[in-house]
Chain A
Amino acid sequence: MTTVTLAGSTVEVDPEGFLVDAQQWNRQIAQEIARANGIEQLGDRHWQVVNFMREAYLETGSAPSIRSLGKTSGVPIKELYELFPKGPAKLASKIGGIPKPRGCI
């Protein structure tokens, strides 16, 4: 575990940069992680996905698969990849301050 400063807050991250404690997250941190991962400004559609992932994780203890993300987040798969070209589930989790999804699908 490493301690880093994101948007003025001190947070713990894993070796890949995912927040260790989802409670340390806030929207400024999200924006800073997004920028470091090639998304200059988080738009409404980005937020829709990030919030969906985060809420699903906090509710169920695991992040949704890309399939259910496409079906239930309100953002279809094609657009998910346009919003997060480097991998929607992975990147939205990182930005949302939740652990990296462990599923294969």
Chain B
Amino acid sequence: MSDTIEKVSIIISKGSLEGIYPGLIMANGARMEGIEANVFFTFFGLDAINKAKHEHVKVATVGNPGLHLATWAGGVPGMSALVTHQLAREMEKLDIPPIPEFVEMIADSGAGLYGCKASVDLFHLSSDDFIPQVKEIITVGEFYGLAGGGQIIFT
């Protein structure tokens, strides 16, 4: 195997803000280095490409020990929105785009965006529910076909 990475296929499987960003940052970072990239959205990760939901992705404040917030406080109404808002403000300072813009940027960079067929069926969705940058809804087998010759990263 070559000692440089030429191609990556990144799986985004979680629907929280902190679940979606790492995969997007890695995909964008790959393209910035001239590395070929595919992004496969599965399960709640589909929210990142769902037209109705991608603007409303939030930080999970319950069951998220990384926030160092008391469990009861995480469940206070509005807490998730508040933490998400604060984080979004900090990210804007670092020039990290909001999810809808970031996903579009990644598609424009030439990365392929794909939805997972099993999840799309499970949630009774269709390709009309997704942003136009999504190339195709594919099966896991087709994903492996696309990922051939590169590394797979699961997030």
Contacts and interface: CB of A to CB of B under 8 A. Distances in A.
Interface of A: 65-68, 70, 76-78, 81, 85-91, 103-105
A66 B34 contact: no
B28 interface: yes
B87 to A, nearest CB: 15
Contacts of B28: 66, 105
Contact of B34 (A68, A70, A77, A85): A85
Q: Nearest 5 pairs between A and B by C-beta?
A: A86-B34, A77-B108, A87-B34, A78-B108, A65-B95
A103 B95 contact: yes
Nearest to A66: B32
Contacts of A103: 94-95
28 contacts: A66-B28, A66-B32, A66-B109, A67-B97, A68-B95, A70-B105, A70-B108, A77-B105, A78-B108, A78-B110, A81-B31, A81-B108, A81-B109, A81-B110, A87-B31, A87-B32, A87-B33, A87-B34, A88-B32, A90-B33, A90-B34, A91-B34, A103-B94, A103-B95, A104-B29, A105-B25, A105-B29, A105-B94
Contacts of B105: 66-67, 70, 77
Contacts of A85: 34
A67 B109 contact: no
Contacts of A78: 108-110
Interface of A is mostly: helix
A63 to B, nearest CB: 12
Contacts of B31: 81, 87
Given A68-B95, A77-B105, A81-B109, 11 more contacts: A67-B105, A78-B109, A81-B108, A87-B31, A87-B34, A89-B32, A90-B32, A90-B33, A103-B95, A105-B94, A105-B96
A68 B92 CA distance: 12
A49 to B, nearest CB: 14
Nearest to B106: A77
Contacts of A68: 95
B150 to A, nearest CB: 16
A52 to B, nearest CB: 15
